Amino acid sequence: MEEEVQGFHSGCVVCSLKKDKIEAKAPLNPIVVSYPLEVVALDFLSLGRPTDAYQNILVMTDMFTRYAWAVPTRDQTAKTTVRAIWSHVIQTFGCPGRFHSDMGPNFESTLMQQLCAMYGVTKSRTTPYHPAGNGRVERLNQTVLNLLRTLRGEKRNRWAEHVQELLQAYNNTVHSSTGFAPAYLMFGRHLRLPVDVELGVAPHQSRLALSGWVEDHHQKLTLAYKLARERMGHAAERDKRSYDRKAQALSLLPGERVWVRDRNRQGQGKIRSWWNPEPYVVVSLVGDSGVVYKVRPESGGKVRTQHRNALKPCITPVNVIPEPGTIVETEAEVDPLPFGFYVVPAFEPPEVGADILPPEPPAEVVDNALRRSARATRGLPPSRYRH
């Protein structure tokens, strides 16, 4: 009985589209890096302060050293994005091997493609509506917000002038994932800060010759990078174990029919279906991650790239799938029960003989007229008040 109910429920189109739960969450697939500026992650952070001159922050981080940049911007156009990347990263630190971002139009613009082609940079992107694919910069966004919340008074209103000070403190603080300060892994030395003067920390005085200093510096950096890789690997394994506790590696095969998550929930708002009413077909697996697929509409159309968490197997028979805009769009045709109150029909008892029925009692006459007083002293005050 239970299996029959589950089979009926799984084959119901309306139940499949309205159910928010994802049956299988894909395992975590972290990005592996091994040296500085191998991958730089990008993202825009909006502060939601319409009265400020700067509305956004372009947040960037090196995935190996965890070195961070935060550039206040007035808008999120492609020109502003490319200028900030070129001025704050490429001109000072050199060009990274790869830029990783979401599919925002500023990051996928022609101007961004020209910048990458000029320096030979690879451009990668997350799947649509999947911020977890750029988790390190998303986590850095929360750190930047927490740093800005430490500002008080007039400094908070002029946050754009102090954001670089906050980022300097972050870059010179030991990171829990690497065990080193991001600035040390990036530059190979500890930067001198005002706190060193306050604490009386003397700078390291090296009397080595140039060749000796280079060799010593190379050995220190090699050891630091080795330890950072090991610690990042342990941190990634720990995060993966925690994330994969409720994850299942359920792969999809080419030709398999799936529902695609509907992110454009406009018009009907919160009562709209969670999944696109048109089924899709898996075309192929993208890369070796095992969590990104190319799918296309079953009726034909443009191929889309989706994460496994945005796909749900469609086991509804082909002849039951409704045409877009028919059954699923009009809920009244799906639910046969009309809306309104249920009226119980009148019940008439069977006819019986008149001699069996008991005699009815006489009806009591009720006088609904107003009762008036019949006292002789009606209208007069009490005797104790009459003189």
Residues 93-143 have pLDDT tens digits of 999 999 999 999 999 999 999 999 999 999 999 988 888 899 999 999 999
Selected residue with higher pLDDT from 8 and 371: 371
Q: Where are the domains of the chain?
A: 2-25+249-334, 40-244
For residues 112 and 93, what is the distance between their CA atoms, to the nearest angstrom? 18
* pLDDT at site 344: 47
* pLDDT at site 335: 47
For residue 87, count CB atoms less than 10 angstroms from its CB and return exposed for 0-12, middle for 13-18, buried for 19 or more: exposed
For residue 323, the 8-state DSSP code is P
pLDDT class of 197 with cuts at 50, 70, 90: confident
Instruction: Give long-range contacts, CB 8 A cutoff, 24+ apart: 384-387.
Output: none
pLDDT class of 310 with cuts at 50, 70, 90: confident
Query: Is residue 342 scored above 60 in pLDDT?
Result: no
Q: What is the DSSP string of 1-58?
A: -HHHHHHHHHT-HHHHHH----S-PPPP-PPP--STTS-EEEEEEE---TTSS--EEE
* 8 A C-beta contact, residue 313 and residue 15: no
For residue 104, the 8-state DSSP code is -
- Tokens representing residue 320 in the block: 């039951």
For residues 301 and 297, what is the distance between their CA atoms, to the nearest angstrom? 6
* Residues paired with residue 51 on neighbouring β-strands, in sequence order: none
Span 285-304, pLDDT tens digits = 888 777 899 999 998 889 99
Q: Do domains 2-25+249-334 and 40-244 have the same CATH topology?
A: no
CATH for 2-25+249-334 is: 2.30.30.140
* CATH superfamily of this structure's domain 40-244: Ribonuclease H-like superfamily/Ribonuclease H (3.30.420.10)
Tell me the H-state helices in the chain. 2-10, 13-18, 78-85, 91-93, 110-119, 135-149, 154-157, 163-171, 182-187, 194-199, 210-243, 331-334
β-pairing verdict for 68-73 and 311-313? unpaired
* pLDDT at site 333: 42
